[in-house]
């Protein structure tokens, strides 16, 4: 591992789930942090180092990103927007991040997802799996990853693409986790828009941040275009995950409820996010699983957090957001 105290990272989207976890992890390790955010007030809950350099601006601005990237060892592209804003905003933000890496030579870090793989045949996906997107969002994500990989293959800057299960953790707030943790924090039964007795793969985001930091501190081990899967926390049923969350919330009798798709289709008439979610139903009905060996090759001593501890930490963070009520 290299001396973290001499290393610097620019984080785009530091107020979000993965970006916030990366800022916390790198900050604990003594990295110099430069955080590009639109609303610095959202950083307050993260408890970041006082010497973090806060740059207020728009990550879609390539000149701003390139300027902020100067002198950095890594650029963490952690921006993720609501589905209706993905195109063209995610294309523009990713293009700006690529130009920032090209201008500075910093390693570009990007959290991928499984959308680009399309529907699968129940075989776990390894790092070299073929991308076969068959949805609008899948094709967009494939385009983003291809553009990032091209940066590394051209030798302009090294890249690191990580992939994991669905994100949860103290810094994560989104529609999927809110159906579980936010509802339990209010004393309400958790919901899930898919079969409860199918397996599901989750990712405790602080683990992904810790893995990313370990990799960034061992640059000599990484290929110019590196893919790493964190294939941890595979639950035999989604019901089990939700029951563990209910127990952590102090509501073990609040059993998980199935959210019917007809209700989501009804909501989609007026809610653009629900409308976008309909395209991803296949991920709930036929879960996509990850596997891979790059983690064991690159950081063989890495160990993920035990699910019980991870779920408890996540539930505690959500409990601070709202005052529990009788549901």
pTM for the full model?
Answer: 0.95
**Annotated domain spans of the chain:** 4-168+200-235+287-303
Question: What is the b/e burial string over 61-92, where b = at least 16 CB atoms within 10 angstroms of the residue's CB?
Answer: ebebbbebbeebbbbbbbbbeebeebeebbee
- pLDDT of 61 reads 98
**Nearest to residue 171, comparing CAs of 25, 290, 49?**
25
What strand order describes the sheet that includes 200-204?
166-168, 200-204, 234-235
The torsion angles phi and psi of 25, rounded to 5 degrees, stand at -65, -50
Q: Do residues 290 and 229 lie in contact, with contact meaning Cβ atoms separated by under 8 Å?
A: yes
- pLDDT of 215 reads 99
User: What is the CATH architecture of 4-168+200-235+287-303?
Assistant: 3-Layer(aba) Sandwich (3.40)
CA distances from 13 to 21, 37, 225 (A): 11, 6, 22
pLDDT tens readout for residues 35-47: 999 999 888 878 7
Specify which residues 228 forms β-bridges with. Answer: 162
Q: Give the tokens for residue 75.
A: 């650029």
- pLDDT of 278 reads 96
With a CB cutoff of 8 Å and minimum separation 6, the contacts of 38 are 56, 57, 58, 59
- pLDDT of 326 reads 43
- Pairing between strand 225-230 and 159-164? parallel
Neighbours of 133 (CB within 10 A): 17
- pLDDT of 273 reads 87
**Nearest to residue 202, comparing CAs of 174, 222, 226?**
174
pLDDT tens readout for residues 205-219: 999 999 999 999 999
With a CB cutoff of 8 Å and minimum separation 6, the contacts of 255 are 189, 243, 246
- Collect the ranges in the chain with pLDDT lower than 50: 1-3, 324-327
Q: DSSP assignment, residue 158? A: -
Largest CA distance in the chain: 57
- pLDDT of 117 reads 95
- Pairing between strand 74-77 and 191-192? unpaired
């Amino acid at each position: 591992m290299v001396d973290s105290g001499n290393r610097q990272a620019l984080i785009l989207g530091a107020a979000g789930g993965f970006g916030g976890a990366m800022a916390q992890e790198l900050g604990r390790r003594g990295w110099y942090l430069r955080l590009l955010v639109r609303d610095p007030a959202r950083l307050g809950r993260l408890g970041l180092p006082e010497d973090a350099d806060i740059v207020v601006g728009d990550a879609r601005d390539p000149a701003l990103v390139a300027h902020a990237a100067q002198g950095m060892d890594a650029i963490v592209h952690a921006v993720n927007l609501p589905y209706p804003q993905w195109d063209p905003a995610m294309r523009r933000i990713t293009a700006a991040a690529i130009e920032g890496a090209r201008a500075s030579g910093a390693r570009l870090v990007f959290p991928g997802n499984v959308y680009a793989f399309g529907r699968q045949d129940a075989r776990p996906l390894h790092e070299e799996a073929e991308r076969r997107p068959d949805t609008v969002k899948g094709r967009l994500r494939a385009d983003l990853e291809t553009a990032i990989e091209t940066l590394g293959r051209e030798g302009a800057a090294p890249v690191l693409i990580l992939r994991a299960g669905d994100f949860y953790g103290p810094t994560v707030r989104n529609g999927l986790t809110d159906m579980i943790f936010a509802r339990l924090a209010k004393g309400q039964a958790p919901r899930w828009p898919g079969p409860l007795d199918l397996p599901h793969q989750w990712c405790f985001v602080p683990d992904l941040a810790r893995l990313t930091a370990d990799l960034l501190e061992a640059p000599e081990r990484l290929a110019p275009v590196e893919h790493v899967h964190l294939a941890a926390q595979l639950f035999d049923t989604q019901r089990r995950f939700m029951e563990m969350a209910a127990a952590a919330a102090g509501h073990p009798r609040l059993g998980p409820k199935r959210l019917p798709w007809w209700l989501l289709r009804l909501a989609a008439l007026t809610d653009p996010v629900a409308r976008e979610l309909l395209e991803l139903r296949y991920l709930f009905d036929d879960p996509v699983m990850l596997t891979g060996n790059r983690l064991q090759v690159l950081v063989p001593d890495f160990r993920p957090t035990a699910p019980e501890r991870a779920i408890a930490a996540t539930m505690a963070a959500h409990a601070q957001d709202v005052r529990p009520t009788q549901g």
